[in-house]
Structure 1
């Protein structure tokens, strides 16, 4: 908020206001009091299930003196409230904790006592999420001690508009001031944004968003051809269910969100500037909203025809944000296209955090090694640095791969990862499609804690299963922040190299219907040149390039 006020750029960008939602913070002393007065540490640090931990926390009591303050906050906000985590470790400049804990939303209700009950439960559920198994695994992976974690909570007005029983913003997104996937004439420092209709959780969960560089809003890869636009744009979106219902709080922080089809937004009349219309007769997509025809989420009227200055606002947010923080940043934002009485809408800046940058790559000749001396080679590599302490490769067998089995493969990988975490060993993970997508048809739906011991993650395309590489979720913020490498390899398009037949000939230390694990006698060498976006994995016994 202070940063926006310090920079007059944000005062009036073509009539659009840039601001922070109404916000209150519960400091860490309330967390301490809650944990100690309810004797929760013994339960929280035990090995009981997440559901049991949540049940104990929901039964516990928050300090009574908070209640009048909460009721006063309801009066000021008059809108649904997001209950977001803000822990000490999440604010660290050197360790990534974004997206590990829960964020709950509660609807705005006429019955303020009922709304208070929901708010208290949401706060307790966020506190409980510190001690879930995933968080504990993450703590182990980051060498942090869980009982040193302290949780503050942000209560924040949810950006959006109410449409009958549903509430959602026009758009939400995540922006990064460094783009590890520049295309055409984009540069890494031009930044990148992932934008979607509805609540931002859709992007965080790995849904299909629209990816573009705010300095090149006319060039959007996903809408560059008819096939890509129809196949690779957003078809679902999240809204907050304003029906109070009797849904009990769940370890799933999206328990009271609805995942709807974009078609469901048509009756809300909320899509006007954000969609184009597919004309099946002429086989073309027309920019704008027309009756009939499938609506395709292109944001064309905003990005190409500048009906709303979103690209320039986001560019200013990323440029000023990274200048003020002195390093590359990731931001979260949401906005309404139309304000009261048809006035221009508002862009809300929800969050900013540093992207932790790894040491620069030493060698500029990373890709000079011939293919036969490598296991993997990528021209689209994320991260940078040298890793020489990994001896295992866990890979999905191409010969038996079926996307219908992706959920089961995710469970199997979670078990495998647990054994690596317990042994304090790392591995390379290779498989087809998008790692971490919540849509299991697009890839294997792992969460970050389920692959936390991987040092390099590779998306490999199969001839019959070609999915666009994934972008911009909290999941990948964590990958880059940990210095975990990330390769995209598409041998069928002549992009990169993957010698799976070499791995298949080696003895397996573990093999199932879908997965194989190979262990080498000596570590393999992983080298990534972050400036050029190139990386490779050298076969054991091949000397480092610099020492050749």
Structure 2
């Protein structure tokens, strides 16, 4: 048996939505009123078909239009599209068959079925008719299921080739020439197969998938001659689930009493184990059936339909799978579903496994349940010797794991306690909305499935953490049953609102679901908000509501208490004062907000009494602060050791572009690496059970020193080591010396393919969302707990820029209306609330005075801080340079109230621009713009003369502070790196 590493195998999912594309929607019934009446006592054929469809959970029942004569039928056909014609012949059959030929000549693509009342006389007449205009003749035996069987037989014929060849749908072949007999047996056969498809559809993860999955049921094909049977078999030899055949039917144009046996002999030459059921009214054919390893059924038996169902169930792979002892026939194990098979396969004895595996029993069972990818894989593996049993057992187990992972990915499953396990990814409790973050996570999961390169890129898998969403209807129920709206919408302090919510009660039905979730996750749980408005495409709602984390405890009752309080805490945060104020500011109504809750495993590892991931971060597909060769569309990532809250709270992270991972400004010099890299991190406190829930959702998080992580031995791969003797930083972890968080081994030396994966994640996210995106992620590097590196994608949201501008908007302003203009700008957006410009006077400027200028700027900045106002800062050389010859040596606190910083060049003092490198973190964190003015560039200007003509609010030997009555307008297009400052008294903007 040839095998491959199943881990490398990608099992392609079956698109059930693409099956059964051709349907019968409109049926034309040509029959006299009396003939139509005998179909159903009150003549309502439509209603009868509808009930047949709904009882079997089938969608799209066809509409039946009745025509009382062929003349009426021709009028109907000329005015409307019909998919099937059923004609009931009158007393004179000939007229029906002649008219059918006439219809066929005009409408050759419409199937025509003749439905006759059953009698010996009618059968005799039909045998002498010209049936060339008719696809099938059926005999009405009073069985209402016949109409359903006719429709499904035609649909199977229409869809067989596409569905069988595209995904491996199976075929049940019925070989029978007796009109009476196949009219009787087909309804039983279809009802059986459709009922079985209802059963196997429960393997689906939600109701929509269940409906679609039924389309994967086996097709039933009817052959009425030997040649037709051989042709169908030869067309689909690898897709035959089983054959039911009569013995006597036409062969070479003549009735052959042994045609069925000859057909079975033909099959056995090609397939030793294909299930065959031989039906015959002549009992002596039973011996031949046994010789051909086929089952035999007596056509004369009054319980033939029951016998046929039982035989098909036992031999065609339907129902439960029974592993037997091949020597005694004793049942060793019964398997009801795929999870059962996974749990059982390792304990099945070799003899039993070889018996079933070598006869394709297991793959046939999987085929019958529409699990085509895994069935196909197992059928292709030839199990030829019992010595291969262990290999086969492992292959089956690994294939099931891969299949279940693949099926779970990208599907919002209904949470079922008995089905949710370690291979489950995403499930919902409730029928309401998933909320913004929940939708985002579900979208990520489906996106990963569409891009299989993310599944195992250089040994690292991208996934979402195990997630269960409590839908918004749970929130509604909680609020209403506890009568909380009056408290929630009041002006009570946040602490009081939280107290009321914590005393309220969650629905009892959730308790068992939570307990099942604990068992599967086995890790701390993050309880995250997912409101209807969060992560909306059009309004920024991120970070408004609470997110709590709770530790994993052996005491499940205590864990349940913590989880319940966390959920209630998130619900309460909808009604805190800040949330209400934000609602008002964004013109939303608080009582229209509804909250879903995300329960999600916390990514990380346990280190003593604390828990945190190797690193976490935020990526954006647009970078408004590119450096060197970077472009805005190359994207930017902030990454830090520990929980991602550290970055969200403005902690010092490492910033890089995923397309330029070696280009890290913070580690470009020794001084920057030692001063501008991460020194602290967040971890979850696992001993926090006694703490009371607070409106501060970080009440149980620890803010620790990087030295604490060093003691945990969790930093390898993410740090470099500073050698104080040689005054050098060496990439990698070495004993002694300060550890500097540089991520050098990951970004520059490829220990973990972070940059490549993030580049793909941002590209795929932007493409599929159709706009720039922001993503959140966390990762575990390989360690004793995690053998394989894992990157978890936690969130995706559109980048919402409330100050967006048209690409051509900046170019519309005349130069004479501009105070500043540059083609080298960092940042993005519009500022229209700045009335002050602080600038270094270029007259008599001397770089030797730069230290004195820095002290003056510090005093002026302190004044602006006290007034709570911002300003534009303009000066020559590099702002923040420690070398006074290159620029003014300010530190960030000295210029912290500036919203736009401008570097200019003077004659005789032209310094290579720094583009804000000295306080890059602060520029990006606070959204400060940065202009570089190069006088030799046509795209740059600084109208200092204009400022000199204005009165100064304050003036020193080196500086002037000018105040305008109305604000200047700052516009920065970060995508194109261009920026302008428009004078407050500018004339009308020239229209292009």
Q: What band does the TM-score fall into relative to the shorter chain?
A: 0.7 to 0.9
Residues 543, 528 of structure 1: CA spacing in aligned structure 2 closer, same or farther, 3 A cutoff? farther
Residues 64, 501 of structure 1: CA spacing in aligned structure 2 closer, same or farther, 3 A cutoff? farther
Separation (CA, whole Å) in 2 of partners of 1:244 and 1:503: 61
Higher strand share: 1
Deviations 1:263-284 (CA, angstroms, capped at 9, x unpaired): 1111111001000001111111
Whether the aligned pair in 2 keeps the contact of 1:237 and 1:261 (CA below 8 Å) is yes
Residue 361 of structure 1 is matched in structure 2 by 807
2:828 to 361, 383, 389: 383
Whether the aligned pair in 1 keeps the contact of 2:835 and 2:967 (CA below 8 Å) is no
Q: CA deviation at 1:339?
A: 5.2
Q: Does 1:202 align with 2:646?
A: yes
Q: CA deviation at 1:539?
A: 3.1
Q: CA deviation at 1:159?
A: 0.2
Q: Does 1:468 align with 2:909?
A: no
Q: Which runs of 5+ in 2 are unaligned?
A: 1-444, 839-856, 880-890, 904-916, 934-939, 955-960
Residue 143 of structure 1 is matched in structure 2 by 587
Residue 259 of structure 1 is matched in structure 2 by 703
Separation (CA, whole Å) in 1 of partners of 2:942 and 2:721: 39
Q: Any residues of structure 2 matched to 1:164-203 within 5 Å, and which?
A: 164-203=608-647
Greater alpha carbon shift after TM alignment, 54-63 vs 328-337:
54-63
Q: Secondary structure at the match of 1:43?
A: helix
Whether the aligned pair in 1 keeps the contact of 2:899 and 2:929 (CA below 8 Å) is yes
Q: Secondary structure at the match of 2:688?
A: coil
For CA contacts below 8 A with separation 6 or more, give which structure has more relative contact order.
1
Deviations 1:309-344 (CA, angstroms, capped at 9, x unpaired): 111111111111111111111110001011557633
Residues 431, 138 of structure 1: CA spacing in aligned structure 2 closer, same or farther, 3 A cutoff? farther
Q: Secondary structure at the match of 1:227?
A: helix
TM-score, length of structure 1 as denominator length: 0.79
Q: CA deviation at 1:232?
A: 0.5
Residues 26, 320 of structure 1: CA spacing in aligned structure 2 closer, same or farther, 3 A cutoff? same
Equivalenced residue count is 485
Residues 544, 77 of structure 1: CA spacing in aligned structure 2 closer, same or farther, 3 A cutoff? farther
Q: CA deviation at 1:116?
A: 0.9
Q: Secondary structure at the match of 2:793?
A: strand
Q: CA deviation at 1:56?
A: 1.8
**Which is higher, the Rg of structure 1 or of structure 2?**
2
Separation (CA, whole Å) in 1 of partners of 2:515 and 2:594: 25
1:345 to 773, 776, 789: 789
Separation (CA, whole Å) in 2 of partners of 1:16 and 1:502: 63
Residue 526 of structure 1 is matched in structure 2 by 970
Q: Any residues of structure 2 matched to 1:302-381 within 5 Å, and which?
A: 302-338=746-782, 343-356=787-800, 358-365=804-811, 369=815, 374=819, 379-381=824-826
Residue 693 of structure 2 is matched in structure 1 by 249
Whether the aligned pair in 2 keeps the contact of 1:378 and 1:487 (CA below 8 Å) is no
Residues 133, 329 of structure 1: CA spacing in aligned structure 2 closer, same or farther, 3 A cutoff? same
Residue 250 of structure 2 is matched in structure 1 by none
Residues 115, 518 of structure 1: CA spacing in aligned structure 2 closer, same or farther, 3 A cutoff? farther
Whether the aligned pair in 1 keeps the contact of 2:834 and 2:969 (CA below 8 Å) is no
Residues 336, 84 of structure 1: CA spacing in aligned structure 2 closer, same or farther, 3 A cutoff? same
Q: CA deviation at 1:181?
A: 1.2
Greater alpha carbon shift after TM alignment, 497-506 vs 40-49:
497-506
Residue 13 of structure 2 is matched in structure 1 by none
Q: Any residues of structure 2 matched to 1:388-399 within 5 Å, and which?
A: 390=832, 393=835, 399=859
Q: CA deviation at 1:526?
A: 3.5
Residue 563 of structure 2 is matched in structure 1 by 119
Separation (CA, whole Å) in 1 of partners of 2:620 and 2:671: 27
2:929 to 487, 490, 500: 487
Separation (CA, whole Å) in 2 of partners of 1:153 and 1:525: 42
Residue 38 of structure 1 is matched in structure 2 by 482
Q: CA deviation at 1:39?
A: 2.3
Residues 527, 210 of structure 1: CA spacing in aligned structure 2 closer, same or farther, 3 A cutoff? same
Separation (CA, whole Å) in 1 of partners of 2:871 and 2:572: 31
Separation (CA, whole Å) in 2 of partners of 1:519 and 1:249: 49
Q: CA deviation at 1:362?
A: 2.3
Separation (CA, whole Å) in 1 of partners of 2:522 and 2:962: 54
Q: Secondary structure at the match of 2:920?
A: coil
Separation (CA, whole Å) in 1 of partners of 2:490 and 2:673: 48
Residue 512 of structure 1 is matched in structure 2 by none
Separation (CA, whole Å) in 2 of partners of 1:498 and 1:42: 59
1:107 to 540, 551, 554: 551
Q: CA deviation at 1:136?
A: 1.9
Q: Does 1:61 align with 2:491?
A: no
Whether the aligned pair in 2 keeps the contact of 1:17 and 1:345 (CA below 8 Å) is yes
Separation (CA, whole Å) in 1 of partners of 2:836 and 2:575: 28
Residue 681 of structure 2 is matched in structure 1 by 237
Separation (CA, whole Å) in 2 of partners of 1:496 and 1:295: 45
TM-score, length of structure 2 as denominator length: 0.45
Q: Secondary structure at the match of 1:470?
A: helix
Residue 480 of structure 1 is matched in structure 2 by none
Residues 472, 99 of structure 1: CA spacing in aligned structure 2 closer, same or farther, 3 A cutoff? farther
Residues 234, 395 of structure 1: CA spacing in aligned structure 2 closer, same or farther, 3 A cutoff? farther
Q: Does 1:94 align with 2:527?
A: no
Q: CA deviation at 1:188?
A: 1.3
Residues 112, 272 of structure 1: CA spacing in aligned structure 2 closer, same or farther, 3 A cutoff? same
Whether the aligned pair in 1 keeps the contact of 2:636 and 2:658 (CA below 8 Å) is yes
Deviations 1:386-405 (CA, angstroms, capped at 9, x unpaired): x7xx56659999526569x9
Deviations 1:518-538 (CA, angstroms, capped at 9, x unpaired): 883x56433333333333433
Residue 72 of structure 1 is matched in structure 2 by 516
Whether the aligned pair in 2 keeps the contact of 1:366 and 1:535 (CA below 8 Å) is no
Q: Secondary structure at the match of 1:53?
A: helix
Whether the aligned pair in 2 keeps the contact of 1:175 and 1:194 (CA below 8 Å) is yes
Q: Does 1:286 align with 2:730?
A: yes
Deviations 1:432-466 (CA, angstroms, capped at 9, x unpaired): 99xxxxxxx9769x9xxxxxxxxx9926599xx96
Q: Secondary structure at the match of 1:467?
A: helix
Higher helix share: 2
Separation (CA, whole Å) in 1 of partners of 2:871 and 2:506: 43
Whether the aligned pair in 2 keeps the contact of 1:361 and 1:530 (CA below 8 Å) is no
Separation (CA, whole Å) in 2 of partners of 1:110 and 1:523: 61
Separation (CA, whole Å) in 2 of partners of 1:303 and 1:178: 19
Q: Secondary structure at the match of 1:173?
A: strand
Q: Does 1:276 align with 2:720?
A: yes
Separation (CA, whole Å) in 2 of partners of 1:367 and 1:231: 41
